[in-house]
Structures are given as structure tokens and as C-alpha cells.
Amino acid sequence: MRLVLFDIDGTLLSSGGLGKASMQRALTEVFGSPGDPAYRYDGKTDKQIVRDVMRMAGHSDPHIDAKMERLIELYLDGLYAGIESGKFSVTPLDGVNALLAALGARKDVVLGLLTGNVETGARAKLTAAGIEPEMFRVNAFGSDHELRPELPAIAQRRASEKLGLSIAGDRVIVIGDTPADIQCGRALGARAIGVASGQYTVEQLREHEPYAVLPSLGDTVAAMKTILDA
């Protein structure tokens, strides 16, 4: 049995900048500033983004912690409003629906999510892209832990708690478009598959020594073979 964990943004879907725009509006409302415009959001959890950019702006951890819950609420409000307005195009990336259908039909694969999005935001983005959140049976979200490297073990534990499955670390497959996706499962012994569908090229992802790198998920046969051989 394999536990196949997908990142969301840049891997399963594109939200057309909705997440960053919503976060920057929330940061401005709560802290008075959107933070350093050069800060990269990709590969981070939502709460890590808040902490990083507000530390850089001179805010203390206790001050950030005191405002975190309200900030996430405002971020989610912005996410919903952006989706409903139609100003942002939230769409599945090439090949995603076919690959998820093929993997979901297999009895030796459990589909899951490993994402920096808080759970509510993750579900909203997936639904907006026409991807059914309930097909992912074992998940770890940015609302479960602020640090991404903690998420693979959370997903592994949930496979045991929810499904009664004992899945070894090397049977956990993490699929994502950033170096953080590749690196996060190393302590668990998970296999990482990079996908150059986000901000990083095939060559840049290979520098982080994943099990494999795909240019996209558009070739279902190639993606299936890579995942099932991992």
C-alpha cells in the first residue's frame, strides 16, 4: 500500500494569485503591512508565512501569536470573496484530473494531501478548481503544524488512526512543485517526486535530489509509472 500525498498550489491547481492577494490583505488589516514583497510564499505553510513576514517587519512572536487566529479568519474571508467574485481563475493543472482518477481507482493507493494551506482554505481552493476534496482520504494541512517537515508524519499517523493502515515511511510518496515538498519527508524516509509546474524548473528541483522530477502531471502514463515505481 502506498500513501500518495499531493501538494495543492502549483501542483494540483493554480489559483491565479488569489492566496497571496488574500494573505497580503489580511496582513495589512491586522498588522498594518503586507510584509516584504520579495518574500516567497511557495513551499510554506500559511502560518509560517505570517510568522516569517511579520518577524521581518519587527513583530515579536507573542504579538504574532495573539493575532494569528484573527488573521487566518480574514485570510479565509478574502479567499472566499475572491472565489465568488470570479476575479481569480482557480483551475486544475494539466493532467491532474486524469491522474487523480487513475490513482483513485487503485486498491493499493491511498490518496492524500500534504499542503501548507489551512484545511478550510485547502478545501475551498480544491472545490473552486472542480477537484473533489473527499477523494483525499488522509491529509496533513498547514493548520496541523506551522512547519512543513512535521506534516508527513502527521499524515502517516492518520493513515493508521483513520484507516487502520501501517504504512512505512518509504511507502509514503510526497508530490509537489517546490524544494520544500522534496525535503519535508526526508526524516520519514518518504519518496519525493518534484513537479515543475510551479515556480521551479526541472533542473532546479533536481538539485534537491528527489526520487524523480516530472515536467508536469500532464502525461498520465508517465506520472503513474513514476509514482508506482517509487
* Domain CATH for 184: 3.40.50.1000
Q: In what order do the strands lie in the sheet with 138-140?
A: 138-140, 109-114, 2-6, 172-176, 191-195, 212-214
192 and 150 in a common domain: yes
17 Rama sector, left if φ>0, alpha if ψ -120 to 50, beta otherwise: left
Nearest C-alpha neighbor of 185 from the set 214, 159, 209, 213:
209
Question: Would you tell me how many other CB atoms lie within 10 Å of the CB of residue 98?
Answer: 17
Domain boundary among the residues 57, 85, 113 is at 85
Could you read off the pLDDT tens digit of each residue along the chain, which spans 230 residues?
999 999 999 999 999 999 999 999 999 999 999 999 999 999 999 999 999 999 999 999 999 999 999 999 999 999 999 999 988 999 999 999 999 999 999 999 999 999 999 999 999 999 999 999 999 999 999 999 999 999 999 999 999 998 998 999 999 999 999 999 999 999 999 999 999 999 999 999 999 999 999 999 999 999 999 999 99
Spatial contact of 74 and 25, defined as CB atoms under 8 Å apart: yes
Question: Would you tell me how many other CB atoms lie within 10 Å of the CB of residue 37?
Answer: 7
Give the domain extent around 56. Answer: 18-85
pTM of the model: 0.96
Spatial contact of 155 and 111, defined as CB atoms under 8 Å apart: no
